[in-house]
Amino acid sequence: GENVEQHPSTLSVQEGDSAVIKCTYSDSASNYFPWYKQELGKGPQLIIDIRSNVGEKKDQRIAVTLNKTAKHFSLHITETQPEDSAVYFCAAREVGSGANSKLTFGKGITLSVRP
Amino acid sequence: DAGVIQSPRHEVTEMGQEVTLRCKPISGHNSLFWYRQTMMRGLELLIYFNNNVPIDDSGMPEDRFSAKMPNASFSTLKIQPSEPRDSAVYFCASRSGARTDTQYFGPGTRLTVL
Q: What is the pLDDT of residue A102?
A: 83
Q: For residues A29 and A33, what is the distance between their CA atoms, to the nearest angstrom?
A: 12
* pLDDT, mean of residues B5-29: 97
Q: For residues B64 and B73, what is the distance between their CA atoms, to the nearest angstrom?
A: 24
Q: What is the pLDDT of residue B101?
A: 80
Listed in sequence order, the residues at least 6 apart from A58 whose beta carbon sits closer than 8 Å to its beta carbon are: none
Residue B45 contacts A where some CB pair is shorter than 8 Å? yes
Q: What does the mean pLDDT of chain B come to?
A: 93
Indicate if the pLDDT at residue B1 is higher than 70.
no
- Are A112 and A45 in contact by the 8 Å Cβ rule? The answer is no
Q: What is the pLDDT of residue A99?
A: 55
pLDDT band at A98; cut points 50, 70, 90 = low
Nearest-Cα distance to chain B for A48, in Å, is: 10
Residue A50 contacts B where some CB pair is shorter than 8 Å? no
Indicate if the pLDDT at residue A97 is higher than 60.
no
Number of Cβ within 10 Å of residue A75's Cβ equals 25
Indicate if the pLDDT at residue A44 is higher than 90.
yes
